[in-house]
Amino acid sequence: MNTVPPLDLSQQYKLIQDEVSQAVQAVLASGRYIGGSIVEAFEQEFGQYIGVQETIACNSGTDALFLALRAFNIGPGDEVITTPFTFIATAEMISAVGATPVFVDIDPQTFNLDIEQIPNAITARTKAIIPVHLFGQSVDMTRLMVIAQSYHLAVIEDCAQATGASWQGQKVGSIGHIGCFSFFPTKNLGACGDGGAVTTQDPALAQSMRIIKEHGQASRYRSETIGINSRLDALQAAILRIKLRYLDTWNQQRQTLARRYHQLLDPLSEIITPQEIACGQSVWNQYTIRVQSTSDAVNSTLKPRDYLRNYLQEQGIGSMIYYPIPLHQQPVYQGLGYSAEQLPIVEAICQEVLSLPLFPELSSDQQDQVIYAIKEGLVQTLQL
């Protein structure tokens, strides 16, 4: 039986292995493994790609969020508004600097923050908003920036899943005050290990992030603030420079596959396909459908989504649940005191989402296998 993995990074490596080997050998031979011209060149090229003055490479998307929050002096007593439907790192770094995450419910069409609900969550303590461009799709940055400006709030974009995505022709990471990127291997631009970057148009913010990522040192061995050690290795920078040149092609392949999923899945009434909003261009880090909980299945112990996922698994089709638990219901955030049904949309969505195999090298044969298995699986699900 042919299987379809949720993700296969080895195919992409095969495509570029000669270039990567050469670049890696060159770094190894140079004897310069931390910092240096390769890292600087990557920062330059990445900044140009995103459309910003300043890029600072760091160790991970998580560190990028930490640096951005610290650059705004956000700390104890401050509140930061974000989405409960994201990877834990987004809220975790708000907590790590000593501030409090404030969760606003999501828009069920896009899975992103419901912009209309943001003003209700703003208090005298609110310092920033962290919109997350989830699954590769930009938040409505026009409306978000209007709200942020009128309340004088910082905007830190979490672009970890959306490298190359745009909003009204502008790349995400160039619209808010700071953009935070992850080069974790499964992201659209992935290293062969950990990596991240922050982007900004503001030289003063860039300067403070450079200082914080190097032990608070404004000059060598002179520390002015408590910092961290967060670096992108020269080896990873060399690999990322190569992959950056392919990124637009790979993102276009993802878009083609997403459109084909739309066409083939839209006729199925039990499934809601992800919506693209007109002003943005998604780069489809994930293709996430909703398997609706039908009344027929109400008495079943297994949710239709979970039943379908198990069926796909049996057929050799990989799928993932991003995310099974909204952040306000994570054990670590029990103390924030959110009640059940306080954020009803995200709580319902977490029971329904299923991310299907999507990576640039996925073949249409494999995609057909996924669709076939979904159709068969739905028939069985409905017989529950």
Which residue ranges make up the site for ligand PLP (CB under 6 A)? 60-62, 86-87, 89-90, 132, 158, 160-161, 182, 184, 194, 196
Assigned token pair, 256: 């083609």
Residues 6+ apart with CB under 8 A from 25: none
Taking the least distance from each CB to ligand PLP, the nearer of 105 and 194 is 194
Minimum CB–partner distance for residue 9 and ligand PLP (Å): 15
Taking the least distance from each CB to ligand PLP, the nearer of 101 and 196 is 196
Taking the least distance from each CB to ligand PLP, the nearer of 87 and 307 is 87
User: Got the DSSP string for 40-103?
Assistant: HHHHHHHHHHHT-SEEEEES-HHHHHHHHHHHTT--TT-EEEE-SSS-THHHHHHHHTT-EEEE
Minimum CB–partner distance for residue 191 and ligand PLP (Å): 9
Q: Backbone phi, then psi, for 190, in 5-degree steps? A: -115, 140
- Give, for 15, the enclosing helix (H) or strand (E): helix 10-30
Question: Residue 339 carries which DSSP code?
Answer: P
- With CB atoms as reference, the residue minimizing the distance to ligand PLP is 61
Taking the least distance from each CB to ligand PLP, the nearer of 188 and 369 is 188
Taking the least distance from each CB to ligand PLP, the nearer of 193 and 216 is 193
Minimum CB–partner distance for residue 92 and ligand PLP (Å): 9
Cβ pair 130, 84 in contact under 8 A: no
Minimum CB–partner distance for residue 246 and ligand PLP (Å): 20
Taking the least distance from each CB to ligand PLP, the nearer of 60 and 369 is 60
| Closest-CA residue to 39 (of 207, 230, 205) | 230
The residue type found at 384 is L
Minimum CB–partner distance for residue 265 and ligand PLP (Å): 24
SS3 219: strand
Question: Residue 261 carries which DSSP code?
Answer: H
Minimum CB–partner distance for residue 90 and ligand PLP (Å): 5
Assigned token pair, 150: 């009128």
Judging by DSSP bridges, how do beta strands 154-158 and 178-182 pair with one another? Answer: parallel
Taking the least distance from each CB to ligand PLP, the nearer of 162 and 257 is 162
Minimum CB–partner distance for residue 65 and ligand PLP (Å): 6
